[in-house]
Structure 1
Amino acid sequence: MFLDSIPYLNEILTMSFIAIFMAISPGSDFVMVTRNSIFYGRKAGLYSALGISTAVWFHVAYSIAGLAVIISNSIILFSILKYLGAAYLIYIGWKTFTSKSIVDIEQNKSHLDISNLEAFKTGFISNVLNPKTTIFFLSIFTQVVTIETPIWIQLVYGMIISFAHLIWFITVSYLFTHPILLDKFYKSKKTIERIIGSVLIAFGLKVALTSNN
């Protein structure tokens, strides 16, 4: 099977580069992981990263099935996806902006908490309902993947993209839960909450204005 993959080496290398670029590009996923990490702790950030990397397989599945073309060309389906994603980001952004959490400055500890499942869900939903991700996968599976590309090779591409997202957002979670950054965060918590909330709302509005063209 390894020898069979050699003809697709260029595709694999191209997909790996795209996966890295796709993962590190600033967007709502980045803000969501950052939010959960600094508000609820590293564990919440890690589960959010896992949610995002799992959501990638949802996009891979419908792309392989050829549904990405249907979604991107259907005004109704694309609009449903777009407005659901926008509403979710605006909702989370507003909750963050208006947060009334109690913070113990002396102990550098927030009294907020979030379950592992809830952290996973925020990452998963943020990625699944992002119409730009749908467009991104459409471009990948129409410009990089050919008709001759075997299904198992396409699954390898999905694994590459999912793994790139997982590693990147785990890194983000560890970075934003570093003691030095957390100390600065707790000293300016309300300001940071409002900034992150505003950014999520802005991303929501941007998603709402996304075109499928």
Structure 2
Amino acid sequence: MDFSIYIHEFLILAGAMILALLSPGPDFAMILKQSVTYGKRSSIFASIGIGLGISVHIIYSILGIGLIISKSIILFNIIKYLGAAYLIYIGYQSLKSKGIKLDNSASKANKNMSDFKSFWFGFLCNALNPKATLFFLSMFTVVISIDTPLYIQAFYGLFCILATMIWFTSLSLILSQNRVREFLNSFGKWFDRVIGSVLILLGLKVAFSK
């Protein structure tokens, strides 16, 4: 078996994945919000959720459902509008927030967001992200050959999941540092309003994108 073909596929996928992670989007806004508002623990659980949210895209791409979605405007639009609605919803929740005061106590910083809820927020943010849908559809229909064995495709997917978790966990550790949180929390309600506005604008952009 000539593994050089798969190495070539993997390098293209890995390069594209890294560039996608470096591009600010809903996932970054989510981690920024969780890190500053609820602290490191909540943000890390959200990061794990974002990483595992990718498994949704991986599974339907490997099963071939991705090809069906790519050919069906109706199915893709359903995913797009669900994602847009979710972003607008969490953005609206941020706008309603009264802001919080920074507290170095992990229990107090985390009292309004359970581990499961943090994870679920991150999971849905990625699973319903049309940008991620388009990315994996393009990877599994253009870059990755249909003849690539399933275990190789599964390895590609595992890499994407782990890379995403590591990237956003690293961001969480940086953004949840007391100095960073103190600086951003000094803006009080304005921080929540800015993040909420960004999420709503991202949701509207998704909803009206073609």
Match of 2:46 in 1: 48
Secondary structure of the corresponding residue to residue 35 of structure 1: helix
Match of 1:133 in 2: 132
Match of 2:121 in 1: 122
What amino acid is the match of 1:23? L
Cα displacement string for residues 10-32 of structure 1 (whole angstroms, at most 9, x for unaligned residues): 11222211121122211001101
Q: TM-score, normalised by structure 2?
A: 0.92
Root-mean-square deviation over aligned CA pairs: 2.1
1:90/1:204 contact within 8 Å kept: yes
User: Post-superposition shift, 1:190?
Assistant: 1.1
Q: How far apart, CA to CA, are the structure 1 residues paired with 2:113 and 2:57?
A: 26
Structure 2's unaligned 5+ residue stretches are none
Q: Does 1:161 align with 2:152?
A: no
User: Post-superposition shift, 1:186?
Assistant: 2.3
Please give the residue correspondences for 1:9-158 in structure 2 after superposition, counting only pairs within 5 Å: 9-103=7-101, 113-158=112-157
Q: How far apart, CA to CA, are the structure 1 residues paired with 2:181 and 2:130?
A: 32
User: Post-superposition shift, 1:105?
Assistant: 7.7
Cα displacement string for residues 78-136 of structure 1 (whole angstroms, at most 9, x for unaligned residues): 121111111111110011011024426899x7585200000001111011111121111
Q: 1:26 to 1:8 in 2, by over 3 A?
A: same
What amino acid is the match of 1:88? Y
Q: How far apart, CA to CA, are the structure 1 residues paired with 2:22 and 2:131?
A: 15
Q: What fraction of aligned residue pairs are identical, expressed as a percent?
A: 42
Secondary structure of the corresponding residue to residue 57 of structure 1: helix
Structure 1's unaligned 5+ residue stretches are none
User: Post-superposition shift, 1:177?
Assistant: 0.7
Match of 1:5 in 2: 3
2:42/2:115 contact within 8 Å kept: yes
Aligned pairs, number: 209
